[in-house]
A and B are shown apart, each in its own frame.
Chain A
């Protein structure tokens, strides 16, 4: 008889909080349509792992199914890199190739990553018991990549224990970009600046360029930051499949079946890392706040860089386009266009914003590679 009630005997009140968090994530996914592909599996995974005995994770010393996924998919980095293949197959670099100067915004809008790392280190200095060392702080900062797989990839290397909160923060704030970016943009620009028109010259891009681009980018990135090859290399592999024109079936499989299957397993596995004794911690709260800081300073970095550029160039840039330099595609570009239209219904800067947004996708991965390469080097110095 006692066997029947052992679940009740093992019940901890903290499970209730985790169920509330799991249900909140599922609610946001279903009702608000906030990154449902990720937040729904993460929410359900959080509920699963917080059931008595956590048998989905481990039972009587034997790894459960989600721990097997975690060990074989996250610790080995297979899930995030497979997502990169899928994302690469989905990205169309044509808008960026048409306006390569937008690449600078893709770089400037990574400012939040480094600022947040610094902020986390400072908090770690004030409260040493938090254990925010350089590795953990940079894993927190990488939330500012606004790119789920990059955040997961870096966190799985530098802060495995905080993979759950970091991933939840990354995906939640990506979904909240329409709420986060407009006030920051408005605070940093004047109405006159927001009304700047940017003439658009359509440049045609040849098929050879589209094919050569992923190959050359892989080679350059691999030579400069070899550790970034799993990120950049596989993203570009996916893109090459797409642009080659002879692998349509593989391209479609990468964009659909591969992306869907890996996203499904990735989400529920990350959710399963949210066990209450790790998640219900003041660090989780700090990580969530730091994630918001990262997105705010990414946006600020992009906007301020555009304003700086305007001091030196003849063709003025609408500073709002700088904010689209984050990786949240295509949301960020849409927000910028919407704001431009609010100021002047005849202002059309969507194409430029999309180019900056694609540059942000590239910039976030390069920034992730930089963090992966620099942190061990700085610690060894």
Chain B
């Protein structure tokens, strides 16, 4: 059963990790859009 508990830990850390990384990506995108806004003369 110890492997099953490891699986539970994997689920907890794994899902949390995916969310944390994607939240960081979210912040990066928001910052990039703010710092480098689209200018009309760009193709």
Q: Which A residues are within 8 Å of any B CB, using their own CB?
A: 96-97, 100-101, 103-104, 106-107, 110-111, 113-115, 117-118, 121-122, 124-125, 133-134, 137-138, 203-209, 212-213, 216-217, 220-221, 224-225, 359, 362-363, 366-367, 370-371, 373-375, 378-379
When the two chains form their complex, are residues A118 and B14 in contact, meaning their CB atoms are under 8 A apart?
A: no
When the two chains form their complex, are residues B28 and A359 in contact, meaning their CB atoms are under 8 A apart?
A: no
When the two chains form their complex, are residues A118 and B7 in contact, meaning their CB atoms are under 8 A apart?
A: yes
When the two chains form their complex, are residues A206 and B29 in contact, meaning their CB atoms are under 8 A apart?
A: no
4 closest Cβ pairs, A-B complex: A204-B38, A114-B11, A208-B36, A100-B29
Closest chain-B Cβ to A116's Cβ sits at a distance in Å of 10
Interface of A is mostly: helix
Instruction: Please name all residues of chain A whose beta carbon is closer than 8 Å to the beta carbon of B28 when the two chains form the complex.
Output: 213, 216-217, 220
Instruction: Please name all residues of chain A whose beta carbon is closer than 8 Å to the beta carbon of B30 when the two chains form the complex.
Output: 100
Instruction: Please name all residues of chain A whose beta carbon is closer than 8 Å to the beta carbon of B38 when the two chains form the complex.
Output: 203-206
Q: Which B residues are within 8 Å of any A CB, using their own CB?
A: 1, 3-4, 6-11, 13-15, 17-26, 28-30, 32-33, 36-39, 42-43
A-B contact number at CB 8 A: 124
When the two chains form the complex, which single residue of B3, B14, B29, B39 contacts A213, counting CB atoms closer than 8 Å?
B29
When the two chains form their complex, are residues A134 and B3 in contact, meaning their CB atoms are under 8 A apart?
A: yes
When the two chains form their complex, are residues B4 and A118 in contact, meaning their CB atoms are under 8 A apart?
A: yes
Cα of A224 to Cα of B42 in the assembled complex, Å: 34
Closest to B31 in A: A216
When the two chains form their complex, are residues A117 and B18 in contact, meaning their CB atoms are under 8 A apart?
A: no
When the two chains form their complex, are residues A367 and B14 in contact, meaning their CB atoms are under 8 A apart?
A: yes
